[in-house]
Amino acid sequence: MTSKGEKMALPVGITLDRFIKRNQGAFQFASGELSQLLRDIALAGKIINREVNKAGLVDITGALGTSNVQGENQQKLDVIADIRFIRALKNGGEVCAIITEEEDEIIYTGNDDAKYVVAIDPLDGSSNIDVNVSIGTIFSVYSRVTPRGTKATMEDFLQGGRKQVAAGYILYGSSTILVYTTGAGVNAFTYENSLGEFFLSHRNVKSPEDGAIYSVNEGNFDDFYDYTQRYILNCRKRRMSSRYIGSLVGDFHRNLLKGGIYLYPPTPHYPQGKLRLLYECYPMAFIAEQAGAKAIDCESDILDVKPVSFHQRNSIYIGAPKMIEELEQYFKERGDYVIKAARFEKVGEN
């Protein structure tokens, strides 16, 4: 029988650092460098967690008054997160180049001998900052294809989703959680503030086969193509729960654990979709696939979409496999001609 003293001194769990070291051999591209890179991302996540928690006290909420390369208004924490992650990856020494949502060009770290490049959205859902709603960080890691010792190029980043060696996200909410995969399953770690450590909290995460939650900005319903509208109407008819907070990380994380589907469809204003392929769609699709979920656009698996530019946009439907398969039936019913004709009608005005 366990004594009261023993209960009070029960183990706190496995730290992220220890887990990475123990499981390094399971990495698709096992190396100490990748382990260090993940630790660097975790360190920056701890710092952002601190900044988010004190945001209302030190005047770092609200708009900065500038726009990023996407033409979107930057929040103060957008810029802070961008700086923190770039600095952590530069100082860590395992990354030779970075692309982020906030910058137009490749960011060189000065570590030309490093073997990895990182694509990152430093702060997803930043419009939620001022109202204390969940936000997050999304990242994707590739082994460079250009020779070590040289400057990284676009080629290193435009390898395609199947070439990712690691991907993950950090959710800053009621608790801060880091979720990542290296191609050997998905594991999640919850941050323990008093100890300053991420501890394993969700081992080998698996998506439910089906779900009863759909996440979409229904304010754009009238702009969606008919197949998406019909799918949403069917969700309503079946009394499914509509849950959407405007943060990809937050919505995806909930649906991954509870069973659901996240939809960001094309519209006439964004005929190719709005989310960024390299640092939003690819990493989330990699995680989804490793957890037994699915991620598609209107024509193929997200991981098979061909990248052509750093800030390329894409539509995405991601979630429980049965829900995605049901949605695919709506795609088949409309036929390829309908969506392609609609795309050319909107995009091909030139």
| Bind-site residues for substrate | 124-127, 217, 244, 262-264, 274
Binding site per annotation, positions: 101, 121, 123-127, 217, 244, 262-264, 274, 280
How many residues comprise the chain?
Answer: 350
* Residues of the binding site for Mg(2+): 101, 121, 123-124, 280
User: CA–CA separation, 138 vs 116, rounded Å?
Assistant: 16
Q: Which of 121, 151, 155 is nearest to 138 (CA)?
A: 121
The H or E element containing residue 140 is strand 135-143
Q: Checking phi first, is residue 181 left (phi over 0); if not, alpha (psi -120 to 50) or beta?
A: beta
Do the Cβ atoms of 164 and 286 come closer than 8 Å?
yes
CA distance 223 to 229: 9
Neighbours of 10 (CB within 10 A): 8
The DSSP secondary structure of 281-323, one letter per residue, reads: IHHHHHHHHHTT-EEE-SSSBGGGSPP-STT-EE-EEEE-HHH
